[in-house]
Amino acid sequence: MLPFVSIVICTKNRCDALQKYALPSLEQLDYPSFEVVVVDDASSDGTQQFLRQYSHSKLRLNVVRNAESSGLCNARNVGIGHSRGEIIAFIDDDCAVTHSWLSEIVRAYDREEVAVVGGISFRGDSEEIYINDRHVWGCNMSFRASIFRQFRFDTGLKYSHYADETDLIGRIIDHGFVRVVAKKAIARHYVEAAAYRKQVPLSGYLNYHYLNAKKGSLWGYYGYVFSHSLKHIALVEYGLNFKGQAMTWLQIVPAVIRKSFYYGYVLLLEIPVAAKRKHAQEEALFRRPRSFPA
């Protein structure tokens, strides 16, 4: 008997993407037994109204709305908590999957130790691979639901939408489970515009610092921050928010001081403290299996 699957889509202010890509493609799936869980992370663009009115005979739509936006990792955890499937799959709202995508995902769970299965993602309608095809990425990934008794997405990765899957899948593999890339489970990622993408060069950088602080020594972490990170952030910040701007010194100096205090606090105190605390909590959770909270 084929397992029941939950497909989770986390969205915020991208109603058009849901209508154009994700939901129409799921309507065409050849897999017989699944539900769709849409987590609306406090959208203000009409997403809720669209989802309330949405109806399709094949799709079982379970809509969950966060009253306040708390980031992608929290939204993913909320989706997991509202899923009923033996397998939980994730796609982005601006992804369209092929009709056999879910069948290929499920087929790859052919061994008990396989806990993570992802597919291949192309950039839009091209044949260009989105990122690469050797790893599993958040726009096209799935997990055995039972794995979430011991693992969850780390909400400490709050600076960007980047690296949530890198962290979670890395921890799952480190504890002896297997990841598989199903080459025929295809999604097309259209990478729709979003407000958060402008700051990705900095916010994603902070997320990866958080990951490094979780895994490595604090001595190595601080060494890298002082030798590389402060200079890198200053240059990127200048390129994103200062270069070419018609600003007076009276505007520039307070802005530089404010940003210096912010990055200093985040890099030197907030990230290492939060990362080490979270690592200890995750290891305790792994050693003490329990049900994932709704």
Are both 140 and 29 inside the same structural domain?
A: yes
Report which of residues 8 and 205 the model is more confident about.
8
Task: Note the Cα 144 to chain centre separation in Å.
Answer: 17
Are both 188 and 238 inside the same structural domain?
A: no
Domain boundary among 193, 222, 244: 193
Are both 239 and 277 inside the same structural domain?
A: yes
Find the CATH number of the domain harbouring 19: 3.90.550.10
Q: How many domains does the chain have?
A: 2
Mean pLDDT of 242-267: 81
Domain boundary among 176, 193, 210: 193
Neighbouring C-beta atoms of residue 283, cutoff 10 Å: 12
Specify the 3-state DSSP secondary structure of 180.
Answer: strand
In the prediction, which pLDDT does 200 show?
60
Quick: pLDDT tens for 175-233.
Answer: 999 999 999 999 999 987 655 444 467 888 899 999 999 989 999 999 999 999 988 88
Element (H, E) at 91: strand 87-91
Are both 186 and 62 inside the same structural domain?
A: yes
Radius of gyration of the chain (CA): 20
Bridge partners (DSSP) of residue 63 are 38
Q: Classify residue 293: in a domain, yes or no.
A: no
Q: Which domain holds residue 77?
A: 5-193
Are both 211 and 79 inside the same structural domain?
A: no
Are both 48 and 11 inside the same structural domain?
A: yes
Q: Classify residue 291: in a domain, yes or no.
A: no
Are both 128 and 245 inside the same structural domain?
A: no
Report which of residues 53 and 2 the model is more confident about.
2
Q: What does the DSSP 8-state code read for residue 18?
A: I
Q: Classify residue 167: in a domain, yes or no.
A: yes
Q: Classify residue 294: in a domain, yes or no.
A: no
Domain boundary among 166, 193, 220: 193
Mean pLDDT of 42-57: 88
Are both 71 and 155 inside the same structural domain?
A: yes
